[in-house]
Amino acid sequence: MTTNQHPTPSPSHLKKRAATCARFFPAQNFALGLAALILGCALPAQAATDTWSGSVNGIWDISTLNWNSGATAFTSGNDALFTGTSANNVTNATGLTAGAITLDGTFTGLVTLTGNNTVSGATAISAGTLKIKHVGTAVGAVAGGDLGASVVTVNSGGLFYIDDDGNGTTGSERILTVTNNISGAGTLQARPSALHTSGWSSVNLSGNLSGFTGTLNVLAGSPINRGKVKFTAASQATLLSSSASVSISNSAQLYLNQAYNYGFGISLNGGTGPENFGSLRLDNAAANVTGGVTLLADSVVAATVNGTISGVIGESAGSFSFTKLGNSTLTNSGLNSYSGKTIINAGTLSVGDCDRSIDPRSISVLAASTR
């Protein structure tokens, strides 16, 4: 009597095997039928995880023994985990291929990516800082592909810092474009070029930000041009969530040039801003700031194309003035609550109701008009 080395599975066993395979393969791949189920299905290989220890230095590459307590180098394609306190922060990481990148809730350090990488998995930042520091000299658009096409989640204890540390040529504009989709309730921070002093610079956030409900900090760039941060969203639906807040540092600028409603809250910390157009610049006739604007210092807003602030302009921790610049018309229709002066330095300020919106006694018209 011969022994059957491959007994025919029972119907219940086949059903369980089919369910297991279906977790990993689309339904159309089962056209091979019952024979494939009897022989079994090959499950896809799962990426291993390397844990950063920084045992040697701050270089993330595939040759330095900075991983797994100094026992190995990083294996290309593996997931990367950052946990606890490492011997060295990551200071250089470019040209890598990685799976998922995780900064877990115990991580206390800084991971700095310095060039384009291929990241096939998700990026999660629960603590510590993940920083994109894009270097090099370039004219025009620069792809900020430090995280590849990875989807980024910034949890409440984490910081995702987009820092353009590159340069441009005289009289040119340098534009760092970051296309990653970003969500979470943590902190997102963006700074235009700190080096490009002979032209203009900007950081363009082009990914889907609708799931980000945390705080975006807009920082100033170089001491001369300072640069600006722009949303270049594909649609209103992918714009930064109305549940988020934006804090614009002194002399930094948020540049709104798309025909969208901007419902997130904005805080202004003063300064004249890039090209002397203030902390908040509207450059689209259909741009409407529907969220509240809070003055934390005497602040400047410019309308270089007609624009609207229909949200309330208020103040916090003091009495502060509001200066309007730009040769176009800024329409302000909110029930404002700031107590400082309203100064019109250029163009037109159109208010919906002078009795409610702006106290006429506080208006100073220097070289423009109000209505």
Burial 296-329 (b: 16+ CB within 10 A, else e): bbbbbbbbbbbbbbebbbbbeeeebbbbbbbebb
Q: How many angstroms separate the CA atoms of 224 and 66, rounded?
A: 39
- In this prediction, residues 248-252 reach a mean pLDDT of 94
If pLDDT is split at 50, 70 and 90, which confidence band does 148 have? very high
74, pLDDT greater than 90: yes
183, pLDDT greater than 90: yes
pTM for this structure?
A: 0.84
Phi, psi of 35, deg, nearest 5: -60, -40
DSSP string, 70-107: TTB-PPTT-EEEE-S--SS-B-B--S-EES-EEE-TT-
pLDDT digits (tens, 9 = 90+) for 305-339: 999 999 999 999 999 999 999 999 999 988 899 99
195, pLDDT greater than 50: yes
pLDDT of amino acid 64: 98
If pLDDT is split at 50, 70 and 90, which confidence band does 21 have? very low
CA angle, 313 then 314 then 320, to 5° = 110
